[in-house]
Amino acid sequence: MIRIERNPAPSAATLALSYVGACVMGFAISALLIAATGYDPAEAFGAIWQGAVGSQTAMIGSLVKATPLILTGLAAAIAFRARLWSIGQEGQVYAGAMAGWCAVLLVPDAPALLLIPLALIFGAAGGAGLGAVAAGLRTRYGVNEIISTVMLNYIIVYLLSWLLSGGAWGEVGATVSYQQSPPAPEAAQLPNFDDRGRLHLGFAIALAASLACAALIARTPLGFEIRALGGNGEALRRRGVDVGRLTLVVMALSGALAGLAGIGEVLGVTDRLRGDELYGLGYAGVVIGLIAGLRPIGVLVAGLFFGGLANGAVFMSVLSDAPAALAQAIQGVLLISILCGGVAARTRLRRTVAHVG
């Protein structure tokens, strides 16, 4: 007889095998899907590969797309590790973008060396502030953080929409535009690593944040408390750790990471404040955090993977005949495959022999 059991602590090899298997499975299902809709899988995958890592331009595009995903993925991973089910990354991305933009508006003529750090700090603080609000609602009034963060997402997204369309922050003048601010001053735009001005400082921040989060979780007292809060908050509380304060710190930290993703996009990619370019980054982070098994280094890998896939999708829709909707379907299939891989890694089959005597 074969039984299915939970395996709470799978080995690294088991994990790696499960995820590689899941990816192979996902690509196989995607290939069937592409073929079934009448397109050539080889051509489509070729285009995705081209777009993900096929050239320097493509790789840079992938890294640029991975940047916000890594940061919001880390934001989700840190909060979920503490079993704080914050879905507020979406709003925190917007809050970070808006707070960072405030810094730009505050001292628009400051030199880059002052303006950029200031904008980044404001951005992180904006996201952190929104996270702290949800933490406060939870510890003070017992409001479930899932509900509060989703509500705050709506509030903040519409706040930005109002600020941009109401005119306070919106672009004014002959072109009469909507839902976007004027361009950021040159000095506020994040420095770039490539000559075409695409790969921006935000990627370095995302990379550093991944390593810092990994160290935080694995080595520091705060990381220990985060894991303990996730494991059994009551035991932690009874051992003298102020769980309310800890919740605040975790939510603020998570929010700061998401906020950095927001201001990074504004000053590194769009060079102006626009809502639609930020849309969905936070929710994508939730998914990235989950498929990464809430491990910071896993988030880095998953973020790069899905960044490459997103850039590959653009190439596919331009270079092959397959529609971009198919690229989204492929992303979805891969996502589900990897999530299943995660479950498979934590499950094992046991053969049990029963002799009848």
Partner 1 sequence: MHFLTSLRCATIGVTAAAALAAGPALADDPTELSVAIILSAGIENGWDGSLIEAFERVAADEPHGLDISWRYSDPLWGDAAGEAMRLYAESGRFDIIWAHSTYSDQVARLKDEFPDILFVVVGSGNEGLGGNQYWVYKRVHEAGYLLGALAGHMTESNVLGAVGTFPADDVNDEINAFFAGARSVNPDVTGNTSFIESWYDPARAGEFTAAKVATGADIIFQLASNFQPCEEAEILCFGNFGDQNSFSPDTVLSSALALWDPDIRWIVDEWWAFKTEEEPLEGNTELRWFSMAEGGSDIAPFHGLADRVPQEVQAELDTLRASIMDGSFEVPLDVSQPES
Partner 2 sequence: MTGALMEARGLTRRFGSVTALDGVDFDLKPGEIHCLFGENGAGKSTLASILAGVIAPDDGALAVGGGPRRYGSPADAIADGVGMVHQHFALVEAFTVLENLMVGLPGRGWRPDRAGLAVRARALAEDLGIALDPAARVSTLSVGERQWIEILKSLMEAGRILILDEPTAVLTPEESRRLFAMLDGLKRRGLGIVLVSHKLVEVMQSDRVTVLRRGRKVATLATADTDPGTLTRMMIGASPPPEGTQAPRAAGAVVVETRALTSAESAGGVPARDVSLTIRAGEIVGVAGVAGNGQAALFDMLAGALAPASGEIVIDGARVSPVSPTEMMRRGVRCIPEDRFRQGLVGEMSISENLMLGRHRAAPFRRGPFVDYGAADRVAANVIDAFRIATTGPQARAASLSGGNAQKVLLAREMAPGGRVLLANQPTRGLDVGVVATVHAALRAKRDEGAAVLLASEELDDLLALCDRILVMFRGRVMAAMSARDADVERIGALMAGRQPEAAA
Q: Tell me if 76 sits within 8 A of 288, measured CB to CB.
A: yes
> Closer CB to partner 1, residue 85 or residue 279?
279
Residue 316 to residue 269: CA distance in whole angstroms: 22
Binding track over 208-247 against partner 2, x by CB under 8 A: -----------xxx-xxx-xx-xxx-xxxxxxxxx-----
Residues 260-279 that bind partner 1 (CB under 8 A): 269-272, 274, 276-277
Residues 48-67 that bind partner 1 (CB under 8 A): 57, 61, 64-65
The token pair at 59 is 């790789």
Which of partner 1, partner 2, none binds 241 (CB below 5-8 Å, type-dependent)? partner 2
Which of partner 2, partner 1, none binds 111 (CB below 5-8 Å, type-dependent)? none
Which of partner 2, partner 1, none binds 43 (CB below 5-8 Å, type-dependent)? none
Residue 145 to residue 106: CA distance in whole angstroms: 32
Which of partner 2, partner 1, none binds 175 (CB below 5-8 Å, type-dependent)? partner 1
* DSSP conformation class of 327: H
> Closer CB to partner 2, residue 223 or residue 296?
223
Residues 139-158 that bind partner 1 (CB under 8 A): none
∠ CA 191-195-200 to the nearest 5 degrees? 30
If binding is defined by CB under 8 A, does position 218 make contact with partner 1? Answer: no
Closest by CA to 331, choosing from 299, 297, 294, 291, is: 291
> Closer CB to partner 1, residue 14 or residue 177?
177
Q: Tell me if 181 sits within 8 A of 170, measured CB to CB.
A: yes
Q: Tell me if 299 sits within 8 A of 289, measured CB to CB.
A: yes
∠ CA 155-156-159 to the nearest 5 degrees? 85
Which of partner 2, partner 1, none binds 64 (CB below 5-8 Å, type-dependent)? partner 1
The token pair at 146 is 């899932």
Which of partner 2, partner 1, none binds 352 (CB below 5-8 Å, type-dependent)? partner 2
> Closer CB to partner 1, residue 78 or residue 104?
104
Q: Tell which one of 314, 329, 336, 339 touches partner 1 (CB under 8 A).
A: 314
Residue 81 to residue 298: CA distance in whole angstroms: 13
Q: Tell me if 70 sits within 8 A of 206, measured CB to CB.
A: yes
> Closer CB to partner 2, residue 58 or residue 135?
135
Closest by CA to 210, choosing from 303, 281, 129, is: 303
Interaction site with partner 2 (CB under 8 A): 1, 3, 8-9, 219-221, 223-225, 227-228, 230-232, 234-242, 350, 352-357
